Chain A
């Protein structure tokens, strides 16, 4: 243990008066010590070194209560404050037995313990430095150290060894899983700087041809160590050995074991340079559980065999049979060389970016949900990129598009991928980002016509835990939910045509509402909600039915894409665990993001009427019955609103209108009028961009009458049939009666209806 008094007189031989101090910082501290207003420090002496460093010795009153302290810090501590000009002074304790505690500076020379007072850069500290704040900081450091509170509970633990300066290795977590990794290629030498720059050490990348040096690596995982102060890096094998002995880490024991094994099993390793990867688990308090892992690399310019020779365990001999030199084990341990002559360079070890690190940095839980994502255009790719950077998912991307220059305005992929398929490019990009095993993969195919990828796509969809549809295509969404019958819940995310809104349709984790039904309820909400006016307005160029309503106009700034993609990604995380379905619309307005809608769509029912499937929500049926009852003894009616899926022969009934005022209604019949009907239907088609419209007629039968079709009803159906012919659809009629709502369908070319009673 160094004698602080001797250090003081050796380093600062000249005793001076307080008035002779030149350093402004020292002068200010001395003034403070003399103040009647502040009694926490007492000036004991002032000294000067040969090179104009000044030191003032202070007795500092530490604010300690009576609770027993964790560390031996006393109520009065003597410290040396070393000053030069107006630079940040440093502080050494003047007590030889001051405890070895966290937050002491590492010192390369034997000097008294040095307090690590700030974690901000000196320039920032000096910005607001005053003698009072500085002394209070010392007192705070001492008080917190006394009670073991200086290292905040939430603060990560320090590594034991201070960061090395010669090299930085980036290590795949997987290297630590292997018992002893094989020879490893260190990559990424910086030829311009002529030295070792940032290197890349990976067990999995042997195929790479980057410039590098071949080394043999061995890993030592030590017993957990208690959090303590930082130590200076060993500079040669002798210092490494004393460090090993001080903490009983077993480094040299492992080195010897591995070198001996290599000599018989992998003799070539001994001819390469040696890298030692030291892994030290750190506990906040002994036995309280490992909280962090400190990793350091030691690199020696000598070969592994030469190190073995220095340690007295290996010997080089000429193998005449093979015509080569080989290292062999010495049967009797030889002399240990002067280990101080064997330089060791300590390197910083950084972990590869992984989903675990991503989640930790984001402050979220890592989730390994298997997601199959259909469509990785700008919106889809931004969502998966954002989620990947938060450590979310195991991804399979499906898309047949290629990346073109114009995509670069909004797509996260860089120019390098132009001309390549988006899906595999994104997988490559993310796998280079997140170094988990099989983080992402891709199928470059059209989800509607996968061709040779049929089986692969089918597997990807059936094995997924979550299907994310960002195809911006209604046919794809319908295909996934209706034709493929994906078991996992599906979420569709798309922009509105003007690109101001993002829409999230979610079936629910329990798939209570099918995606196509969600889609219908989404359209319905556009009609009823005034907040959403203009949601599906035309962007100013001709629009056609179908997919176009989900594709943004050609002009949409990336700033908006990432805002809305961020909201969609957040919604995904929020909704993923929600059992029930959801429809959510976010709008980007000048004054910020606004959620315009979050609604829970009702479950749909389905009834087959011959070869047509009628899908409807119970609430439509209930409302029709209510209209009937309200009308009492006379009949009422109107038109049905919904949509046809002619390809799949599905009719969706999402709503209805009441009787136009010019309708003729009595106890025996209902003749629907026309006044106001066209305007009402135009409103529906405008609000939904023609996705909802007229699908048929409805009327009621009065009290105590069943919903059976009358002759008039059949005649009306026949007339309707002629009109719906133009729509490639059959005539549809709902009749509400005492026994329920009957659904009748009459096909073009037929004169007889088919009918079923709905709920």
Chain B
């Protein structure tokens, strides 16, 4: 059964996807835990290594970096085996068979964070070598950069997937039963019918699992802001691909920041709840299924008036109120915060199993209950 594991890392992202055929995929990596007492964040590198050891392997099939912000890549250059330089190639490092990145991760200039620079070099190295990477973008956007490396675009076109397309190599109908539909980075159609590339866009995609006749859709949103959603929703609906924004599980962008919902955290008319843009309203309120699950990869949602409530950093209480009251509430769904599950006192990674009935949060401590829930076998011969 495929599973999603969202790790409790504070305001940071990492999601492990176990596919039905045993393939393992990681979306973002942020080893945020410190050795300080009372740090309730999980030890991501050790949890992942344990998991890989259990599967008797030292690699991920895919590692996607949605963008180069620290809270999505922290510690990655200490954890992964990087192809471009020997100093990142010790035995204890974990290999990446295929790296997924948005085009900006290749082309972005002026990076300040060291780890971002290293990962960029790795991505560039892979693209130059023509293997072990998939870049998400309009191919034209990478043309200049490839030319500067003396490479023709045509020679790398097979490694580039445009928005509005499915990632090759996966199929909903094959035994794996999973497909990835790319929403961003995308190009926006301007009034003069030319296309404007959104260089800053992070990787946003929908994962569709097909298990036992039911399609479970998961939206992996990077740190998409409401402006991104405006474009993505408009473009998707323009192409009549509405079902590609349907979701059973919604990984919140930017740690439950109001910026993913609308321009203002609150307004005088709505002092405790962020008001969504039309597109976000449609995405969240219309496209989510009954009993949907929202995962907020963030610190606990602050109480009103608490010190954290005044922090400009997410999670924003007003944003959470929107998701709770207007999205999961009417749908009898669940709003799960990585640092609050199952309790703020003892948070643990959230495991969501994808089965024939959809996505179901696995209960901590309730694993291995086949014996209990199955009927005892009756004795024959009565």
Contact = CB atoms under 8 A, between A and B. Distances in A.
Nearest to A152: B375
Nearest to B332: A75
Given A39-B342, A67-B214, A133 B372 contact: yes
A65 B360 contact: yes
A469 B112 CA distance: 96
A350 to B, nearest CB: 15
Contacts of A147: 357
A342 interface: no
Interface in A109-158: 119-120, 124, 132-133, 136-137, 140, 147
B42 to A, nearest CB: 16
A38 B364 contact: yes
A66 B352 CA distance: 12
Interface stretch (B14-22, B137-145, B172-180, B284-292): B284-292
A75 B335 CA distance: 13
B345 A36 contact: yes
Contacts of B341: 39
Given A119-B375, A140-B373, 17 more contacts: A35-B365, A36-B343, A38-B365, A39-B341, A63-B360, A64-B360, A65-B357, A66-B214, A67-B357, A76-B332, A120-B375, A124-B376, A132-B365, A132-B372, A136-B369, A136-B373, A137-B372
Nearest to B357: A65
Contacts of A74: 332
A389 to B, nearest CB: 14
A19 interface: no
A61 B332 CA distance: 11
Interface string B268-293: 00000000000000000000011110
Contacts of A39: 341-343, 363-364
Given A37-B365, A38-B365, A65 B343 contact: no
30 contacts: A36-B342, A36-B343, A36-B346, A38-B363, A38-B364, A39-B341, A39-B363, A63-B360, A63-B363, A64-B357, A64-B360, A65-B291, A65-B355, A65-B359, A65-B360, A66-B289, A66-B290, A66-B292, A66-B357, A66-B359, A67-B356, A68-B290, A74-B332, A75-B332, A120-B376, A136-B366, A136-B369, A136-B372, A136-B373, A140-B372
Top 9 A-B pairs ranked by shortest CB distance?
Answer: A65-B358, A66-B358, A65-B357, A66-B289, A39-B342, A140-B373, A66-B248, A37-B365, A133-B372
A64 B363 contact: no
Contacts, number: 79
Contacts of A76: 332
Interface residues of A, number: 25
A65 B356 CA distance: 8
Contacts of B49: none
A104 interface: no
Contacts of B378: 120
A37 B348 CA distance: 10
Interface string A253-294: 000000000000000000000000000000000000000000
Contacts of B120: none
A88 interface: no
A40 B366 contact: yes
Contact of B216 (A66, A133, A140): A66
B2 to A, nearest CB: 12
Nearest to A141: B373
A38 B369 CA distance: 13
B121 interface: no
B361 interface: yes
Q: Which of B343, B361, B366, B375 has the most CB of A within 10 A?
A: B366
B292 to A, nearest CB: 6
Contacts of B289: 66
Nearest to A63: B360
A40 B355 CA distance: 19
A66 B332 CA distance: 10
Interface in A23-44: 35-40
A74 B341 CA distance: 21
B291 to A, nearest CB: 5
Interface string A403-446: 00000000000000000000000000000000000000000000
B312 to A, nearest CB: 31
Interface residues of A, dominant DSSP: loop
Q: Which of B289, B333, B373, B375 has the most CB of A within 10 A?
A: B373
Interface string A65-80: 1111000001110000
Nearest to B369: A136
Contacts of B375: 119-120
A566 to B, nearest CB: 16
A75 B334 CA distance: 9
A126 B334 CA distance: 34
A40 B359 contact: no
Contacts of B332: 74-76
Contacts of B376: 120, 124
Contacts of B333: 75
A65 B372 contact: no
A132 B371 CA distance: 12
Nearest to B374: A140
Nearest to A39: B342
A64 B291 contact: yes
A38 B290 CA distance: 24
A38 B366 contact: yes
Nearest to B376: A120
Contacts of B356: 67
A230 B359 CA distance: 33
B373 A137 contact: yes
Contacts of A137: 372-373
Interface string B286-315: 000111100000000000000000000000
A663 B290 CA distance: 98
Contacts of A38: 342, 363-366
Contacts of B290: 66, 68
B357 to A, nearest CB: 4
Contacts of A140: 369, 372-373
Contacts of B346: 36-37
B299 to A, nearest CB: 18
A133 B378 CA distance: 18
A117 to B, nearest CB: 11
Contacts of B292: 66
Interface in B191-229: 214, 216
Nearest to A40: B363
Contacts of B369: 133, 136, 140
Nearest to A143: B357
Contacts of A35: 365
Given A119-B375, A136-B369, A66 B291 contact: yes
A136 B248 CA distance: 24
Interface in A615-659: none
Interface string B128-158: 0000000000000000000000000000000
A562 B381 CA distance: 17
Contacts of B355: 65
Contacts of B366: 38, 40, 132, 136
A63 B291 contact: no
A43 to B, nearest CB: 15
A132 B334 CA distance: 23
A121 to B, nearest CB: 11
B94 to A, nearest CB: 30
Given A75-B332, A147-B357, A65 B365 contact: no
Nearest to B356: A67
Interface string A53-65: 0000000010111
